[in-house]
Chains A and B, each alone.
Chain A
Amino acid sequence: MTSDPKAARLQKVFPVDLDKFLPDIIKRNYGKWVDRKFHGAGIIEHISETGERVFTVKVAMPPNARLSADTLEKFADIADRLGIGALRATMAGNLEFLTDSLEKALKIKEEVESMGFPVGGWGPAMWGINSCTAFLTCTTSVVDSPSITKALGDVLKPYFTGEEKLPAKLRIYVSGCPAMCAGGTAIDIAIVGQWGAPPIIREEALSYCLPPPKALEKIAESQVFLVQICPTGALSLRREGGRVKLTLIPEKCINCARCKENCDAFDYDPENVGVAILVGGKMSNTGRGPRLGRVLIPWLPAIPPRYEEIVAVVKRVIDVWREHAQPGERLAEFIDRIGWQRFVGLVGLEKVHAVYQRIPDHVRTFMYFRQRYEAWRRLREGI
């Protein structure tokens, strides 16, 4: 044990005191909500059995939910003046203002909109765009998701505010690399940064990711961390006299980026980099249940600041969905109903649907494990 008073930091201070952190009106009505009503885009009313009501105003945040302390304080002022003195962050990266009357909710809407923050979401609308941090802080991202999000948001805003109608809920995740930190692929439209070509190994930086030379001498090549993390066996370590050489077999590489996530010595040429666009995923058990999205386009260039290629594809997918879907049909259910081939054809992309069929033989072990995972029951089948 240590006498350092800072060792107390090993016991975390978790914000778990509901009494302290929940607003009074929420505490009074905890577990007593009995009904809900929608009041146009972005305003929902929760009705308690006590007769009390809470109106929530959903406000879009800048990409990656980045706010300055100044703006946050201005929001706090609005929440004190027109709300119940509280805000709520959502997993969609939106900020919700809470108040107790529709009149005040509409005033909040007016004020935040005049600050440049649109109000919307809920019902058949775009509920928001999630973005990872990418070039704002991340060392491994290959495209900048916040600026892609900005470019998409500028074009898709009418779907958020309800000015333009959608068949059902739409959410978009934009991730800067295959780590998919914006939330993965279980969403209507997922945009994921891609390497495009196998990584380039920077020999000079490799030693930072390997054990010290003396320790390395005693470890079998296959047991070295950098070799182990590759899921397809594309990386191997070879000893040449006293030196070691990390070799990458490009034909075995599936560009999963796990080597890059774990070592800074893997590099790329920006010309090869792009994004994959996946569609038809969702997390909710509604419709036909949770599923991962599928690759619609495996590679598109990501050219800042307007990313016209990405925006065009997303717009096209939304247009096809709007034109052909039944009311209330989320993108996943719509694609299920009409079939993948027909959907791909409607988007106008017949030629690129077969990317998985071109997976090299070397990757069969990887695919074997993936298939094996399909043998067990998921939530929908289990419950």
Chain B
Amino acid sequence: MAAPPGLPPPEELLKRADEMLRELEKGPWPSHVSELRKTRYPLHVYGVGLVARKSPWGPGTVRVKYVNTGVLSRWARDWVPNGGEETHFRVFHTPGKFWKTDFIRQIAKISKELGVGLIEIVGQTGAFVINLTKDKAEEMVDALREIGTDVGGSGDAIRALNACVGPALCEFALFDTLRWYAEFYKDKRINDAIATPGFPYKFKIKISGCPMDCARANRADVGFIGVWEGAPEVDQELLRKKIEAGEVDPKELAARCPSGAISWDGKELRIDGEKCKKSMECIRRAFPAIKPGKKIKIAVVVGGGVKGRFGPKLGNFIGYLGPNDTQKAIDLVFKAIEPWNNEAMPKCRLGDYIMIAGIENFLKKADIKLEGMPEMAKTGDEVPYAVLSKEEREEYLNLVKELKGRA
């Protein structure tokens, strides 16, 4: 990127960059600049970018033997006085993102000795990031592997997985998200697809323990979200106590239910399981008097994502797995990947491919069949022409034959 027009001469530029950085250290919210000052990160480059109102970084390269994803490198643009470089690793987070203090000290030590002393504790993929200098890259990979984690997840590969904290520290967790997280990583195919890029675009897998979706599974290429069948369980005795204590207002519970599934007759609260849309509104207000139902299912959503050919998308719901179906879930991921990997244009996310192919074609090509799979689109097509196979036309003929018989 070229220098923006009207950029002041180098000395003036650095002076204004410094003023800008000082301003960002004021105020009550924690300052990233104050933290960066405690590290060997080239802060003047950032400051110059702010003055120029243009990113000061250009693409660089760094080669780390047999590490093909998770390594990113930048050079300061030629209009940044005194130049600078920035290299970072994306590092897999621990299950539930728990950091025991001995692990934190190991990370801090590696960061100080082999890096620049700067860490991004969590990114939106769910990984964390350590800054380093190029000459220490080989050593840092080994040091990270030594303490039980690794570098990976960038480019057109499977990215770092993300799971919510699940049963480790949440009452609402409907299944063991961290065990799923571990089982996925242990699969050789997942490992290989993380280690070596080769897909049309990135691919993300996220696992959420309940419909509140703290792991953001609904915007993953394949997401798994814990739900239950029917109505939530109501402990009428406990609920009555909570109502008497003024902790819960049953009328509010009924009013707040977005699907109108709750009725309150002054004595008992009833929930219609047919209507319940698992919004968690009653559960989070009256827990543990109202709890999720006992029959757990894992809703599968495919084709979500933020970045892609056709913009941001939420996932398509395609049916259920059981809470222990980790192997089926991993197989499903690779079934979904196959037609996309074979047919999609470069830089199309799974969701973009599904838009082009149509979801029913996609599911057929991927050979995905799940319990509870929606049988039809929610509305009819507005375009009155289509290519239909002979079999499909015959199906309609048979349908009409039945209707004729009824008349």
Contacts and interface: CB of A to CB of B under 8 A. Distances in A.
A287 interface: yes
Contact of B66 (A6, A73, A117, A146): A6
Interface in B138-171: 141, 144-145, 148-150, 152, 162, 165, 167-171
B9 interface: no
Contacts of B5: 269
Contacts, number: 422
Interface in A64-93: 64-73, 75-76, 79-80, 85-91, 93
Interface stretch (B207-215, B333-341, B391-399): B207-215
Contact of A80 (B101, B128, B318): B101
Contact of B311 (A91, A256, A273): A256
B232 interface: no
A264 B128 contact: no
A268 B318 CA distance: 41
B124 interface: yes
Interface residues of B, number: 144
Interface residues of A, number: 136
Interface in B265-306: 277-281, 284, 287-288, 299, 301, 306
A91 B59 contact: no
A188 interface: no
B186 A14 contact: yes
A184 B219 contact: yes
Nearest to A36: B171
A376 B58 contact: no
B218 A283 contact: yes
Contacts of B277: 285, 289, 380, 383
Contacts of B279: 285-289
A240 interface: no
A89 B95 CA distance: 11
A46 B307 contact: no
List the 9 shortest-distance A-B pairs measured between CB atoms, nearest first.
A382-B317, A153-B29, A154-B27, A285-B211, A184-B306, A270-B53, A68-B38, A31-B167, A16-B182
24 contacts: A15-B94, A33-B173, A62-B31, A68-B118, A72-B119, A85-B102, A89-B128, A91-B124, A116-B34, A117-B30, A118-B30, A132-B124, A137-B57, A147-B24, A180-B306, A182-B124, A231-B309, A268-B1, A273-B53, A305-B50, A373-B355, A375-B378, A376-B317, A383-B211
Interface of B: 1-2, 4-5, 20, 23-24, 26-36, 38-39, 46, 49-50, 52-59, 65-67, 72, 74, 86, 88, 92-105, 107-109, 111-112, 115, 117-124, 126, 128, 141, 144-145, 148-150, 152, 162, 165, 167-171, 173, 176, 178-179, 181-182, 185-186, 191-192, 194-196, 211-216, 218-219, 225, 227, 256, 258, 277-281, 284, 287-288, 299, 301, 306-307, 309-318, 345-347, 351, 354-356, 358-359, 372, 374, 377-379, 381
